Amino acid sequence: MRSLIRIANARFTLRDPAWRELAERSLALARQLGDLKAEVNLLLGIGGKYGMDDLPRNREYLQAALARSETLNDKATKLSLLHEIGEQFERDGDYYRQLTEYEMEHLRLSREIGHRIEEGNALMFCGQIQALYLGDYENGLETERQALRVWENMTSRIFPLLRITQILTAQGKYTEAIKTLERARPLGEKVIFDIGRGPGARRSNPL
């Protein structure tokens, strides 16, 4: 199973459609073995690989992963699933559902297990949806400031800072927006360096 997973990932990187058959074979093996954690991770990975190229199949695999994760009771895996599935509703323009059913649950669960990085991530997306998608500028701004406080010692704080800049601009508070953007500016180079050093973003969806 693990060998098939590695080969599938390599085939996907090479843009070889054979990755699909290999991934399905590894998924079948996970089910035969009764390895629920591997099954959920495979469903998440396969769904992510379909991504924007095949949205119906992307949704099908992610929903299956979410359903199976309830049995698994793996809260860390569920965090990733909530965000990934929520993004589908963003593409559909169903921002209220994205916020209330997925990102707020993402936030609640990250706090429950004490995952501070994911808490900041969830706060940032909640604030983005509230302010920039639904027009609730004040609450969205406060949520972004909470994300900023959670990530105060991380270079990732550039991302809530940029969203705060967007919200302030939408409110016509241009002087404050420029000051916020200046706070973000020195972090840009550090973030690029960190990305270059890292093994890849979580959203790359390896199997």
CA–CA gap between residue 93 and residue 89 (Å, rounded): 6
Residue 112 tokens, joined: 């429950």
Sign of CA dihedral 110, 54, 130, 204: positive
Task: Provide CB contacts within 8 A for 186, sequence distance 6+.
Answer: none
C-alpha distance from residue 68 to each of 41, 47, 77, 78, 186 (Å): 10, 14, 11, 10, 43
Residue 87 lies in a domain: no
pLDDT score, position 199: 43
Residue 50 contacts residue 88 (beta carbons within 8 Å): no
| Domain that residue 27 falls in | 1-69
Residue 37 lies in a domain: yes
Look at residues 28, 30, 31, 58 and name the one whose alpha carbon lies nearest to residue 45: 58
Residue 137 lies in a domain: no
> Residue length, the chain?
207
pLDDT > 90 fraction of the chain, expressed in percent and rounded: 66
What is residue 115's DSSP assignment? -
pLDDT score, position 204: 45
Residue 124: what are its φ and ψ, rounded to 5°?
Answer: -60, -45
Residue 57 lies in a domain: yes
Residue 111 lies in a domain: no
Residue 26 lies in a domain: yes
Specify the pTM: 0.78
Residue 13 lies in a domain: yes
pLDDT score, position 92: 86
- Domains identified in the chain, total number: 1
Residue 97 lies in a domain: no
Q: What is the pLDDT of residues 45-78, one digit of tens each?
A: 999 898 878 888 988 998 899 888 888 878 888 8
pLDDT score, position 190: 72
Q: Which residues of the chain have pLDDT under 70?
A: 192-206
pLDDT score, position 1: 95
Percentages helix, strand, coil for the chain (3-state, rounded to 5) are 85, 0, 15
What Rg do the C-alpha atoms of the chain give, in angstroms?
19
